[in-house]
Structure 1
Amino acid sequence: MKLLALPLGGRGSLLLVGCVLWQLSPAAQAVEPISLGLALAGAAASALTGIISYPKLYCYFAECCLQRPGARSGAGFLNNSNPKKPLALSLHGWTGTGKNFVSKIIAESLYEGGLNSRYVHQFVSTLHFPHRQNITQYKDQLQMWIRGNVSDCARSIFIFDEMDKMHAGLIDSIKPFLDYYEELDGVSYRKAIFIFLSNAGAEKITEVALNFWRSGKRREDLSLRDLELSLSVFNNKNSGFWHSSLIDKHLIDYFIPFLPLEYKHVKMCVRVELEARGYEADEDIVMQVADEMTYFPKEERIYSDKGCKTVCTKLDFYL
């Protein structure tokens, strides 16, 4: 079981025109017009089918289960053509600290459509698995969804949001897909990526970061050893991993803590959002939006209690 910390606590359209040309010989010119038309149509269809069947050309017309160019760069798991198990990441921290943002980056690094790609699948506990009495049904559905999508694309991405609201025991249904099996019923899950997002452990992560700040140290100097204290709370009653075999069998590859965001980080979020909307970063607006956010603890006012979650809506008022 490993722990990975992130800096700051977290964060075309191409038209193909195919032309098939034939140059008729004198003998061919004597063929009856209708027969010649049918023959040409068949030849054209056959040629075009051959072109579209070629993966790289077919992928100009439709999304393919192929990584984006450069997606392999610097990524050990993606570089491995035969991994021993799927990659499983568990992201923890307060809302608005960048968990969904990192998921978006991962999706976009593999597929041009990012989170909208047909090979990226998002599950929200309160939306897709709302009723405790239906857990058995949810387990069956979840297994079918994963099996079907990995059969379609081995490098599928599955994102489970609100793990802290997931009913206990539900996540165990996917344990076989995360384990060290070459195949299950003829399907290999070793190239798939599973990402779990949770608020569980946020209190402990914040406590460690706050104590670090009060001792006069910089957050950038926090080490993995300092944050390993948070591991014990990831498997608690407020987590979808409660009594989960995924934890017991050490099937989560990385636990990634997201530190709470400070005032300076909120200002960074405002600048990025302004630039994304085509505006220059007006420092007066940046400060006004950042000042409107609420911070904790009440005395020191160090961390934003919503991270950057409401930056977009607050910025609407000024624009």
Structure 2
Amino acid sequence: MNIVIMQGQTLLAATCIVVACSVHSAVCANPFADFFEVIQLTADYAEICYDSVRTYFAETCHDRWIHNNLTGLSNHLNKKLFGQHLALDAVTNHIQRHIQSAEPARALVLSFHGSIGTGKSYVSRIVAEHLYRKGMESQFVHLISMASEFPLEEKVQDFKDQLRAYIESTIADCPRSLFIFDEMNKMPPGIIDTIRPYLESYNKLRGVNYRRAIYIFLSNTAGNGIAEYAYQHWWKGYPREDIKLADVREIIIRTAISTKNELWHGELMDRRLIEFIPFLPLEKSHVMKCVKDNMATSGHKVTDEKVESIVKAISFWPKSEQVFAVFGCK
């Protein structure tokens, strides 16, 4: 029995030496080194193997799962986002610059503004799908609905504390996190103050680097002003593509300041911590493209007759001209 045990120990030691030798060359030079040192080296190697396997099969905050497919993002937006030349260029450029910077100056904050159905949620989903392998299902993509998460103004302080703790713990786990705040126009006053410290140009805040995170705000604020501007532009006979980002951005800022809504905050605007991105109202031609794309994606046969019958059931404004869809592509 003792001979069998000794043979087993010898085999174990030999195995440990072979494995440890592949990790630490010093063991090869002296294979009769201290046995416990060999065991420690083998344990270290096993831990490395475990981490490698875990990273492969379980989502982690590494490049395998956060793949930052910028080419795919640009191509997808070009093919699938209809009538939004301002949003297409701005989203692509801002995300590309932020992702490609090894040390961004601050967190990226994109604020999408426009009427319902113009593509704000759609674009945020496309962004998530091309930055994270699991898309919106990724544990590093966080969708927060302001209407459902923070419904009572009298509990603002509690909400602030919850949101602060949530952001800090999330980014501590993965600095490359994406936060999507839906229905920002329903955010109770004061909540934005909680988010602000994580948007500014701190090297580190309480030992954590917050500058690699991305925030996307979705809001209907200034939707009517943007739609009116687009209508006046159309009525004067100007091409839609001539609308400039700077002109429509001013409409968003004026609306935010005049109403002192969820995004009104002097420092946020003065220091350009937020990039405001307008979504224009969709014309009938854009809605038709949306319908065709949705039918094709759903596996339905696309015919002009079917498309026209669907579009006829959609409401457009003004009633006399029937130019823009009331609910966009909804």
Residue among 89, 97, 119 paired with 1:98: 119
Deviation at 1:232, TM superposition (A): 1.0
What residue is the counterpart of 1:313 in the other structure? none
1:63 aligns with 2:42: no
> Structure 1: how far apart are the matches of 2:49 and 2:257?
52
What residue is the counterpart of 2:256 in the other structure? 234
Residue among 251, 255, 261 paired with 2:282: 261
1:50 aligns with 2:73: no
- The Cα offsets for residues 244-270 of structure 1, whole Å up to 9 and x where unpaired, read as 642344311x11000001111111111
Instruction: Tell me the secondary structure at the aligned position of residue 260 of structure 1.
Output: coil
What residue is the counterpart of 2:97 in the other structure? 76
- The Cα offsets for residues 133-170 of structure 1, whole Å up to 9 and x where unpaired, read as 00000011111000000000011011111111111111
Residue among 111, 123, 143 paired with 2:144: 123
Name which structure has the greater RCO, CA cutoff 8 Å, separation 6+.
1
Deviation at 1:182, TM superposition (A): 0.4
Residues 70 and 134 (structure 1 numbering): CA distance in 2 closer, same or farther, change over 3 Å?
A: closer
1:247 aligns with 2:223: no
Larger Rg: 2
Deviation at 1:171, TM superposition (A): 1.2
- The Cα offsets for residues 212-239 of structure 1, whole Å up to 9 and x where unpaired, read as 1000112112123432441311334373
> Structure 2: how far apart are the matches of 1:304 and 1:48?
60
TM-score, normalised with respect to structure 1 = 0.79
Whether contact under 8 Å (2:180, 2:215) holds in the other structure is yes
> Structure 1: how far apart are the matches of 2:228 and 2:279?
12
> Structure 1: how far apart are the matches of 2:218 and 2:258?
15
Residues 218 and 286 (structure 1 numbering): CA distance in 2 closer, same or farther, change over 3 Å?
A: same
Residue correspondences, number: 278
Amino-acid identity (%): 37
What residue is the counterpart of 1:157 in the other structure? 178
**Range 44-53 or range 293-302, more displaced:** 44-53
Residues 291 and 72 (structure 1 numbering): CA distance in 2 closer, same or farther, change over 3 Å?
A: closer
Residues 64 and 133 (structure 1 numbering): CA distance in 2 closer, same or farther, change over 3 Å?
A: same
Residues 194 and 244 (structure 1 numbering): CA distance in 2 closer, same or farther, change over 3 Å?
A: farther
Residue among 141, 153, 159 paired with 1:138: 159
Whether contact under 8 Å (1:168, 1:242) holds in the other structure is no
**Range 243-252 or range 201-210, more displaced:** 243-252
Whether contact under 8 Å (2:226, 2:248) holds in the other structure is yes
**Range 64-73 or range 105-114, more displaced:** 64-73
RMSD over aligned CA atoms reads 2.8
Q: List alignment gaps of at least 5 residues for structure 1.
A: 1-26, 310-319
Name the one with the larger helix percent: 2
Whether contact under 8 Å (1:164, 1:238) holds in the other structure is no
What residue is the counterpart of 2:24 in the other structure? none
> Structure 2: how far apart are the matches of 1:243 and 1:177?
15
Q: List alignment gaps of at least 5 residues for structure 2.
A: 17-38, 72-92
> Structure 2: how far apart are the matches of 1:244 and 1:129?
23
> Structure 2: how far apart are the matches of 1:185 and 1:227?
38
